[in-house]
Amino acid sequence: MLRRVAFAMLALVCAAPVVHAQTADEIIAKNIEAHGGAAKMKAIKTMKATGKIEIGPGMQAPMTATQQRPDMIRNEFTFQGMTGVQAYDGKEAWQIMPFMGKKDPDLMSADERDDMADSADLDGPLMDYAAKGNKVEYLGKDKLEGTDVYKLKVTLKDGSIQTWYIDTDSNLEVRVDSERMVRGTPHKNTRVIGDYKEVEGLPVPFSMEMSDADHPDQKMKLTLEKVEYNVPVDASIFKMPPKTATTTKGADTAEPKPADKKPDEAPKSETPKN
């Protein structure tokens, strides 16, 4: 009798469907395929996106983002008649922030440079992640506002941590939480990604809402209007330009004053030379 029960249990186990556990690599492969595949993604040498950033109620700033392989990016945004620039040339990150009274280019901090370097990667941190020095861990399934998502923990080479939420149906990312050190302080922010549209057969998110953990009510929304691939780009735009030459007259550069003369001393006349 016991043998019959054992055989019956074995038969049920063998007949049960095998549940295949997802792995990080399988989810990444689906995500890359959903973006058009590795070959098409890597065929993009340059990208130019134009749109606007909504900073607050009634406050908008036109923006342009230009990227070029390998790992170069330049962002421009205009507000109140002034244009700010943030760029990375593959080695150094710099910015011009006239809104802060700085019209000359300045180098960014090391933390800000790492952030710009991450943004400059046209393929993103999942593509060839091991070769880039990144690590990826699958955290399982979850629900995000009613949507089933895969969760991936991405540890970047610089130690920054990202949590990716990937839609189980479309296999496209819908949110990314980031945590990195900025000037020695942990900095957390969230990007909610959506409004995917196809550009030359590749899905591109035309909407991104960004918020800071320290200021959750102060959100910025990026809305793209146009995205172009493989447009001609002058690589010099990513290089930091020289600072504007200014001459400031100080005590050491002041023009010499004529020697003081005594009140009763008449000026000497010069005899013309023949």
For the chain, the domains span: 22-238
Place of tokens 């023949």: 274
Whether the per-residue pLDDT at 61 is higher than 60: the answer is: yes
Of the candidates 182, 173, 261, the residue with the CA atom closest to the CA atom of residue 214? 182
Q: Which amino acid is at 53?
A: I
Contact 113, 102 (CB under 8 A): no
Of 113, 27, 19, nearest in space to 71 by CA: 113
**CA nearest to 84, candidates 55, 111, 115:** 55
Tell me the mean pLDDT in the region 10-15.
44
**Residue 273 binned pLDDT confidence (cut-offs 50, 70, 90):** very low
CATH fold of 22-238, please? outer membrane lipoprotein receptor (LolB), chain A (2.50.20)
Task: Place 80 in a pLDDT band, splitting at 50, 70 and 90.
Answer: confident
pLDDT confidence bin for 100, thresholds 50/70/90: confident
Q: Is the pLDDT of residue 89 over 90?
A: yes
| pLDDT single digits (tens) 198-228 | 999 999 999 999 998 777 777 899 999 999 9
